[in-house]
Chain A
Amino acid sequence: MPPRVPTVNDLRVKLCYICREEEHADTPQEGLPRAWTHPCNCTLIAHEQCLLKWIQTSQGTASRAPNALKCPQCNTEYEMHSDEPLVLKGLAIGNRVLQRMGRYFTVFAAAAAVGVVSTSVYICLTAYGAWAVQKFIGDELFQLILTDDPVNWPWSAYINLPLLPISLILSRFQTSSSSMVIPLLLVWPPSTPVGEQSRRLFEYWIKPENASRLSRMSLLPAKVWPPPPVIFGIVGIPLVKLLYKKCYSYLYWRVLGTKLPQTRQLPREGLRFNEGPFVIRIRANLDIGGEAQQEGEDGQHEDGEPAPAPVPADGGVLGDPNADPNAVAVQAAEQLIEVDAASLGRRVGGALMIPAISNMMGSLLFRFSKHSSMLSTFLGIRPASRVSGSVPLPPWGRLAALTSGETRWKELSPLMQAKVGFKLVMSAFLGGSKTWLDSDPVWWRNGVGFGLFIVAKDCVQLLHLWLAKRELESRRVKDRDFKGVDVRELDLLPSFLQREGL
Chain B
Amino acid sequence: MASISARRLAKELREIQSEGCPVGITLLEANDFSRWLFTIEVMGESLYQGEVYDLQFRFDAQYPISSPAVQFVVTGGKQSPIHPHVYSNGHICASILGNEWSPVLSVIAVCVTLQSMLASCKVRPTDNDRYVRNAPENPKKTLFHYDDDT
Chain A residues with a Cβ under 8 A of chain B: 17-21, 44, 50, 53-54, 57, 61, 63-64, 67, 72-73
Q: Given A54-B103, A57-B65, A73-B104 in contact, is the A19-B143 Cβ separation under 8 Å?
A: no
Tell me the interface secondary structure of chain A in the complex: loop
A125 to chain B, nearest CB (A): 39
Determine the distance from Cα of A57 to Cα of B63 in the docked complex, in whole angstroms: 12
Does chain A have a CB within 8 A of B56? no
Docked-complex contact A19 and B66, CB < 8 angstroms: no
Q: Given A19-B7, A53-B65, A57-B66 in contact, is the A63-B103 Cβ separation under 8 Å?
A: no
Which of A17, A21, A53, A63 is close to B104, meaning CB atoms less than 8 Å apart?
Answer: A17
Q: Which of chain B's residues 1-60 have a Cβ closer than 8 Å to chain A? A: 4, 7-8, 11-12
Docked-complex contact B66 and A20, CB < 8 angstroms: no
Docked-complex contact B65 and A67, CB < 8 angstroms: no
Pick out which of these stretches binds chain A: B73-81, B94-102, B111-119.
Answer: B94-102
Further 13 A-B residue pairs, CB within 8 A, beyond A18-B64, A19-B4, A57-B65: A17-B103, A17-B104, A18-B103, A21-B7, A21-B8, A44-B104, A50-B4, A50-B103, A54-B65, A63-B99, A67-B99, A72-B102, A73-B104
Determine the distance from Cα of A72 to Cα of B102 in the docked complex, in whole angstroms: 6
Determine the distance from Cα of A50 to Cα of B102 in the docked complex, in whole angstroms: 12
Docked-complex contact A67 and B100, CB < 8 angstroms: yes
Q: Which of A19, A50, A57, A73 has the most CB of B within 10 A?
A: A19
Contact with A along B79-112 (1 / 0, CB 8 A): 0000000000000000000111111110000000
Chain B residues within 8 Å of A57, by CB:
62, 65-66
Determine the distance from Cα of A50 to Cα of B5 in the docked complex, in whole angstroms: 12
Determine the distance from Cα of A339 to Cα of B50 in the docked complex, in whole angstroms: 64
Chain B residues within 8 Å of A18, by CB:
64-65, 103-104
Determine the distance from Cα of A53 to Cα of B65 in the docked complex, in whole angstroms: 8
Which of A17, A21, A63 is close to B143, meaning CB atoms less than 8 Å apart?
Answer: A63
Chain B residues within 8 Å of A73, by CB:
104
Q: Given A44-B104, A57-B66 in contact, is the A20-B99 Cβ separation under 8 Å?
A: no
Chain B residues within 8 Å of A67, by CB:
99-100, 102
Which partner residue on chain A sits nearest B105 by CB separation? A72
Determine the distance from Cα of A213 to Cα of B66 in the docked complex, in whole angstroms: 94
Contact with A along B116-132 (1 / 0, CB 8 A): 00000000000000000
Docked-complex contact B65 and A64, CB < 8 angstroms: no
Which partner residue on chain B sits nearest A47 by CB separation? B4
Determine the distance from Cα of A498 to Cα of B104 in the docked complex, in whole angstroms: 106
Docked-complex contact A63 and B65, CB < 8 angstroms: no
Determine the distance from Cα of A17 to Cα of B109 in the docked complex, in whole angstroms: 13
Determine the distance from Cα of A53 to Cα of B105 in the docked complex, in whole angstroms: 16
Chain B residues within 8 Å of A64, by CB:
99, 101
Chain B residues within 8 Å of A19, by CB:
4, 7-8, 64, 103
Chain A residues within 8 Å of B65, by CB:
18, 53-54, 57
Chain A residues within 8 Å of B8, by CB:
19-21
Chain A residues within 8 Å of B102, by CB:
67, 72
Determine the distance from Cα of A359 to Cα of B143 in the docked complex, in whole angstroms: 62
Determine the distance from Cα of A19 to Cα of B104 in the docked complex, in whole angstroms: 9
Determine the distance from Cα of A57 to Cα of B60 in the docked complex, in whole angstroms: 14
Q: Given A17-B104, A18-B103, A57-B62 in contact, is the A63-B11 Cβ separation under 8 Å?
A: no
Which partner residue on chain A sits nearest B9 by CB separation? A20
B120 to chain A, nearest CB (A): 24
Q: Which of B7, B62, B65 has the most CB of A within 10 A?
A: B65
Chain A residues within 8 Å of B105, by CB:
72
Chain B residues within 8 Å of A61, by CB:
99
Q: Given A57-B65, A57-B66 in contact, is the A72-B104 Cβ separation under 8 Å?
A: yes
Chain B residues within 8 Å of A21, by CB:
7-8, 11
Determine the distance from Cα of A17 to Cα of B11 in the docked complex, in whole angstroms: 12
A30 to chain B, nearest CB (A): 11
Docked-complex contact B98 and A63, CB < 8 angstroms: yes
Chain A residues within 8 Å of B7, by CB:
19-21
A184 to chain B, nearest CB (A): 44
Docked-complex contact A20 and B12, CB < 8 angstroms: yes
Contact with A along B135-150 (1 / 0, CB 8 A): 0000000010000000
A47 to chain B, nearest CB (A): 10
Docked-complex contact B98 and A20, CB < 8 angstroms: no
Chain A residues within 8 Å of B143, by CB:
63
6 CB-based A-B contacts, threshold 8 Å: A19-B4, A19-B7, A19-B8, A19-B103, A67-B102, A72-B103
Chain A residues within 8 Å of B98, by CB:
63
The 5 closest A-B pairs by CB, nearest first: A72-B102, A63-B99, A18-B103, A72-B104, A20-B8
Determine the distance from Cα of A17 to Cα of B98 in the docked complex, in whole angstroms: 19
A147 to chain B, nearest CB (A): 57
Which partner residue on chain B sits nearest A72 by CB separation? B102
B69 to chain A, nearest CB (A): 15
B95 to chain A, nearest CB (A): 10
Chain A residues within 8 Å of B62, by CB:
57
Determine the distance from Cα of A67 to Cα of B102 in the docked complex, in whole angstroms: 9
Determine the distance from Cα of A57 to Cα of B103 in the docked complex, in whole angstroms: 12
Determine the distance from Cα of A53 to Cα of B11 in the docked complex, in whole angstroms: 20
Which partner residue on chain A sits nearest B1 by CB separation? A31
Chain A residues within 8 Å of B12, by CB:
20
Determine the distance from Cα of A187 to Cα of B64 in the docked complex, in whole angstroms: 75
A440 to chain B, nearest CB (A): 65
Chain A residues within 8 Å of B11, by CB:
20-21
Determine the distance from Cα of A54 to Cα of B12 in the docked complex, in whole angstroms: 19
Chain B residues within 8 Å of A63, by CB:
98-99, 143
A163 to chain B, nearest CB (A): 40
A68 to chain B, nearest CB (A): 10
Determine the distance from Cα of A44 to Cα of B104 in the docked complex, in whole angstroms: 9
A439 to chain B, nearest CB (A): 64
Q: Which of A18, A20, A61 has the most CB of B within 10 A?
A: A20
B105 to chain A, nearest CB (A): 8
